[in-house]
Amino acid sequence: MIEVLTWNIQCGLGVDGQHDLGRIAHAITAMGDPDVICLQEVCRFMPALDRQGADQVAVLSQLFPDHEAVFGPGIECRRAAGGPYQQIGNLILSRLPVENVIRHALPRPAHPGIKHMPRQALDVSVLAGQIPFRVVTTHLEYHSPVQRRSQVERLRTLQREALDNLTAPPLFVADGPYAPIPRPANCVVCGDFNMVVDDDEYRLMLAEAPAGDALFKDAWPVVRDGVPHDPTCGLYDREQWPQGPHCRDFFFVTPALGRHLTGFEVDPDTAASDHQPLLIRLDLPLSSRR
């Protein structure tokens, strides 16, 4: 059995106003024993978001020493000459063997008069036993629906691209940069999508591909058919989320992988972030744990 968890951790900022990555780690392990942990809003050397200006990637790596850390910054810039690069983005911690990493910059079309920031999707290929699959985690734009729609389209394009390269593979080269790199068709896409189930972007994510098949399924109704989505934010932080509890964090899975879904949980209790952690279970064999 494989467990995958996703959580927007707000750089470790809890509803009590305290930054505490140890509390984040405790809440994660309280949900289960995730083989792959996908975190959004992880920062490095950004005192504007973490008063200590910590390297949160390093801290979280230490808190999960059995997992390999792969970071994908959406923002990487210097605010002061000679200072460190300030970064914020997505982090994957994987106990499964990682075979391939791709960092995708997501579209950011102009939207005048609206604040927005660069967004990124982190794409890793992992092995569960001998079964490869991809885990993609992302955090889409909140303020601009124009950008968010473009970003959903890009996620769908990336999946079609992976499928096309499997059905029409390039010329085989045994070694070097042109040698094949694993990019499996089976895929989990998760994170903070900043959309709700009534939004056009949500419907687009689930739309049929040109061939007539769905690229992705929402994992929640696969496991909890007929049950409304559990809320994933707004439970405790009513200042940022005056609309109250609602769902904007999702797991989307490719249809073949969806047949292996056996569980889906949302932790309603932790206030260690303004979002709640989500966890899915897949009946795939475990790789040897390192």
Q: What is the pLDDT of residues 216-271, one digit of tens each?
A: 999 999 999 999 999 999 999 989 999 999 999 999 999 999 999 999 999 999 99
Instruction: Compute how many other C-beta atoms are within 10 angstroms of the C-beta atom of residue 178.
Output: 11
3-state SS record for the chain? CEEEEEEECHHHECCCCCECHHHHHHHHHHHCCCCEEEEEEEEECCCCCCCCCCEHHHHHHHHCCCCEEEEEEEEEECCCCCCCCEEEEEEEEECCCEEEEEEEECCCCCCCCCCCCCCEEEEEEEEECCEEEEEEEEECCCCCHHHHHHHHHHHHHHHHHHHHHHHCCCCCCCCCCCCCCCCCCCEEEEEECCCCCCCHHHHHHCCECCCCCECCEEHHHHHCCCCCCCCCECCCCCCCCCCCCECCEEEEECHHHHCCEEEEEECCCCCCCCECCEEEEECCCCCCCC
Q: Domains along the chain? A: 2-282 (3.60.10.10)
What is the pLDDT confidence band of residue 287, given thresholds at 50, 70 and 90?
Answer: low
What's the pLDDT score for residue 236? 96
What's the pLDDT score for residue 273? 98
pLDDT tens per residue, range 136-175: 999 999 999 999 999 999 999 999 999 999 999 999 899 9
Q: Does the structure show a pLDDT above 60 at 288?
A: no
Q: Does the structure show a pLDDT above 90 at 285?
A: no
Q: Does the structure show a pLDDT above 90 at 130?
A: no
| pTM, to two decimals | 0.95
Q: Does the structure show a pLDDT above 70 at 290?
A: no
What's the pLDDT score for residue 182? 85
If you average pLDDT over every residue of the chain, what do you get? Answer: 94
- One-letter amino acid identity for 69? A
pLDDT tens per residue, range 63-122: 999 999 999 999 999 887 878 899 999 999 999 999 999 999 999 999 999 999 999 999
What's the pLDDT score for residue 289? 41
- How many whole angstroms separate alpha carbon 250 and alpha carbon 6? 8
What's the pLDDT score for residue 131? 86
Q: Does the structure show a pLDDT above 70 at 7?
A: yes
What's the pLDDT score for residue 212? 63
